[in-house]
Amino acid sequence: MAVEHTKPIPSPIGENKPKIDARVKSTGAAIYADDIQFGNNLLYARIKRSPHPHARILSVDTSKAATVPGVKAVVTGDDYPGYIGLYLQDRTIFCRDKVRYVGDPVAGVAAISEEIAEKALDSIKIEYELLDPVLDPEFGAGPNAPLLHPDLGHYEVANFIIPKPGTNISNHFKIRKGNVETAWKQCTAIIERKYRIPHIQHVPIEPHVAIAQVEQSGEITLWGSSQSPFAQRNLIAKALGISQSDMRVIAPYVGGGFGSKAGVSMESLAVAIAMKVPGRPIKLLLTREEEFYTAFVRQGLVSYYKMGCDESGKILAMENTFYWDAGAYTEYGVNITRASGYSSSGPYEVPNIKTDSYCVYTNHPVGGPMRGFGMPEMHAGLEQCIDELALKLQIDPVKFREINCLKTGSILVTGSKMHATGLPECLQKTAEAIRWGQDSPPSSPNKRRGKGIALMWKAPAMPPNAGSSAWIELAEDGYITVGVGGQDLGQGAFTVAAQMAAAALGVPYEWARVATPVDTRYSPYEWQTVASRLTWSMGNAIVNAAQDARRQILDIAAEAWNEDADNLDVVNGVVISYKTERELPLENLVVYGLPKDDDQGWIGGPIIGRGNFMPTYVTGLDPETGQGERAVVHYTTGAQAVDVEVDLVTGRVDVIKGAAAFDVGKAINPDLVKAQMEGGFIQGMSSALFECLQLKDGVLQNPSFVDYRIATSTDIPDEIQTIIVEVPQDDGPWGARGIGEHAMVPTIPAIANAIYAAVGVRLEGPPFTSEKIYLAMQDAGIVS
């Protein structure tokens, strides 16, 4: 199904084409969901949310709300009994009997203005019976914790998720490979550490927004800032008990996703409210404050690592326990537990490994997919332990990683074999780029300088049968339109879609358009825009569609010219014969067909190519051992290094320089790949130095930009070197695999390792704020 890699790479694959959407975005003409004009018919929704982390709902009195002038609908959980969820259906659209986190939606109002809706919310009276909350995942996993989901055993669940009913553990993933107990005895050095990674949030600059309209006939239209129109249609339809075909999702430009706009979070609320006011569109727009804690957050992690190696530095064993603070509902987060479990060796060959990864319900905001899907949280501690192990044996951390990192053919933690990988090349090039081994001088006597490095790996985490499809249509001018279901979140998915379609069909890049916005009524199915899967999966579908169109075109020309289709080609928008050198521009053929030679009739018709791609080779994993023949479709691997400076007066950490190398298989658009490496580095750096959702008794203390700090233009390093490594993926288009998430994965441990090199302190977890670093240095006697 994949394009052969032996053929020469056709244009514009590998070229830095400017983004297809850059112009419309830079003129203000790009339409995002909140920009769509709905006219006077539009109603505004606001949500009444639980102020308690854990409570039983005793009564909900909405009687006054309905009488406020301008209020058109009031909705509670009583109206919607259906469960919803991606991998585990553990939540209802509105709370019905319990609230499980501060922010949990209890009631909704639609009114002619947001102000009137707020007034109506103020009049809704809810009586709660407070329940003891679970605020720590280790405690939550234990026997004394209150039970957050007594019905866990009755929830519909995907067959690769293993919940423990009667507990707060909604997924327990295990790796049992080899024998760690005997292996410890052979280890010369062992490191045991605990790390605590706090919750953070995606902080898309565009908050979540959804507009829903339900017709009298029951048909639903949902407009939204969405990474996953098809998944949203599927999940919401199921929860409402309607047919997927009776729901339409339209997804205009997205102002940043990072995973927050995947799956279903607040969109179902808009639909539920809209059902009460048929014929009128209802808009729900989250405030920035709500964005911080009521949609998705990145779950917290308490992780225990133990790893040991022999005297030559070869890792012999690892033992990991992960307690994921997954929040009130884990319908999506259960797979993060699994993904981290089957990746728990890090990008290393480890013969003996025991992992227990627990997804734990807590009365915290809902953990969902965030760039990296568990990999940043897991690598944060793991890559520090790798450094510590190396340093214990006095082996250089780069050398230690050279010894142990995955190579082509390595045996993986799940027992599968590593495909062709450029990880060693990524490591070597990154170390070179940061000038590993040469200490940079500090910029003043009050500063200390240090370098750190970290590796990563990640596979697209998704069901084994997540599919893509595409169509290609040609117009009278010979230009092509590519239909896709994947979304451009800014990463450039539409641009590379156009590049791949043009290359596979044989037309100039400028002839390729993408059919936007993605609209489930017209766009072809795409599982979700997550997992860094589009270039690979959607790309394969596009290539198949283009080849399908090509075949149709060449068959028509072959018949019209009485030639063998094998001697024909489409080059630069022209059908040519290698045999007779006959030529015909595409525009002459793709809509009206060609006349027969004897003028007695026609051949062909409007060309429409279609293609799909779904991996068929992922096997399951044994629920007891986590072993299986093929756990995932593939891995992207890479390395990041940093050169940091620590200020001894304030404890501030400055990242002076960064370097990164990732094996992307084939960079369809190298500039876009580099842009991901840059943006991911900075987002990773921001999570390492500044970011933390400060939860106290389940209440978020800092839900605003004032006190949730992210990197600004003044915080970034002087220079980030980004290096593309290309070891082709056997079933990727021209060898391509993903990059979007991977660039954020190794940054926390790279910085942590550099801080240790500079001043000799390590913290229990990020963010490495000035205060935490200074006080750690003070406790260690480095400063007074």
Partner 1 sequence: MINPYPGLPEFEYVKPASLKEASDFLHQHKNSACPFLGGTDVFVRLRDRLSRENYLVDIKRLEGLNNISYDPERGLTIGAAVNMNKVIVSPEINSHYPILVEACRSVASYQLRNRATIAGNICNASPAGDTIGACLLLDAKLSINGVNGKRVVSLQEFFIAPGETILGPGDIVTSIHFPVPRPGTQGKYVKLGRNKLSDLAIVGVTVIGYPNNDLRSGYQIKIALASVAPVPLVVNQVEELLSTSAIDENIISDAAEIAMKVSSPIDDIRASARYRKIMVRNLSQTTLQSVWTELTEHSDNLEQSIKTSRRN
Partner 2 sequence: MAIHRIFPTINGELEQVDVPSNMTLLKMLREKMAFTGTKNGCSAGECGACTVLLNNEPVNSCLVLAVECDGADIVTIEGLAQDGKLALVQEAIIKSGGVQCGFCTPGVLINTMALLDRNPNPSDSQIREALVGNLCRCTGYIRIIDSVKKTAQMLKAERSELWQ
Q: Are 610 and 541 in contact (CB under 8 A)?
A: no
Task: Rule CB under 8 A: choose which of 16, 63, 287, 465 binds partner 1.
Answer: 287
Smallest gap from Cβ 45 to partner 2, in A, equals 16
Catalytic residue among 473, 526, 691, 741: 741
Question: Which residue lies nearer to partner 2 by CB, 31 or 58?
Answer: 31
Which chain residues interact with partner 2 by CB under 8 A? 18-19, 21-23, 25-32, 34-35, 37, 202-207, 253-258, 287-288, 489-492, 671-672, 675, 678-683, 704-706, 710-714, 716, 720
Which does residue 492 bind out of partner 1, partner 2, none, counting CB within 5 to 8 angstroms by kind?
partner 2
What is the b/e burial string over 502-519, where b = at least 16 CB atoms within 10 angstroms of the residue's CB?
bbbbbbebebbbbbbbbb
Q: Which of partner 1, partner 2, none does 118 bind, CB closer than 5 to 8 A by kind?
A: partner 1
Instruction: Pick one of partner 1, partner 2, none as the site partner of residue 30 (Cβ within 5 to 8 A by kind).
Output: partner 2
Please, which residue, 181 or 697, has the CB nearer to partner 1?
697
Minimum gap (Å) between residue 507 Cβ and partner 2 = 23
Whole-angstrom CA distances from 40 to 43, 65, 67, 112 are 8, 22, 21, 9
- The interface partner of residue 774, options being partner 1, partner 2, none and the CB cut-off 5 to 8 Å by kind, is partner 1
Residue 182 contacts partner 1 per CB under 8 A:
no
DSSP 35: G
Strand partners, 48: 107
By beta-carbon proximity to partner 1, the closer residue of 21 and 291 is 291
Identify whether 741 is a catalytic site residue: yes
Pairing of strands 315-327, 352-361: parallel
569, interface contact from partner 2, partner 1, none, CB < 5-8 Å by kind:
none
Closer CB to partner 1, residue 30 or residue 710?
710
Structure tokens, 302: 């308490």
- Strands 220-224 and 512-514: what pairing? unpaired
Identity of the residue, 5 or 25, whose beta carbon is nearer to partner 2 in the bound complex: 25
The secondary element (H helix, E strand) that includes residue 459 is: none
Of 245, 649, 730, 780, the one binding partner 1 by CB under 8 A: 649
Q: Which of partner 2, partner 1, none does residue 203 bind to, with CB < 5 to 8 Å depending on kind?
A: partner 2
Distance CA 767, CA 364 (A): 19
Contact 298, 377 (CB under 8 A): yes
Interface with partner 1, residue 650, by CB under 8 A? yes
CB of 268 to partner 1, least distance (A): 20
Helix H or strand E encompassing 39: none
Count of residues engaged in binding partner 1, rule: CB under 8 A: 34
Pick the binder of partner 1 from 79, 118, 246, 559 (CB under 8 A): 118
From residue 30 to residue 59, what is the string marking binding to partner 1 with x (rule CB under 8 A)? ----------------x--x-x--------
In terms of Cα–Cα distance, which of 378, 386, 407 is closest to 315?
A: 386
Nearer to partner 1, 394 or 712 (CB): 712
Whole-number Å distance between alpha carbons of 373 and 460: 9
Half-sphere exposure of 436 (CA within 13 A, CB side): 23
- Cβ–Cβ < 8 Å for 512, 473: no
Contact 276, 55 (CB under 8 A): no
- Cβ contacts of 79 within 8 Å, gap of 6 or more: 94, 272, 275, 276
Query: What is the distance between the alpha carbons of residues 3 and 251, in angstroms, rounded to a whole number?
Result: 30
Q: Smallest distance from the beta carbon of 153 to partner 2, in angstroms?
A: 40
The token duo for 461 is 């985490």
Rounded Cα–Cα distance for residues 474 and 483 (Å):
11
Contact indicator for 377, 197 with CB cutoff of 8 Å = yes
CA-nearest of 686, 343, 529, 500 to 3 is 500
Selected from 34, 79, 138, 289, the binder of partner 1 by CB under 8 A is 289
The residue within the footprint of partner 1, chosen from 186, 572, 580, 701 (CB under 8 A), is 701
Q: Between 24 and 603, name the residue whose CB sits nearer to partner 2.
A: 24
Backbone CA torsion sign across 716, 675, 727, 412 = positive
Complex with partner 1: residue 456 or 682, whichever CB lies closer: 682
Binding site for partner 1 (CB under 8 A): 46, 49, 51, 102-103, 114-115, 118, 285, 287, 289, 649-650, 690, 694, 699-704, 706-707, 709, 711-712, 714-715, 769-771, 774-775, 778
Active site (catalytic) residues: 741
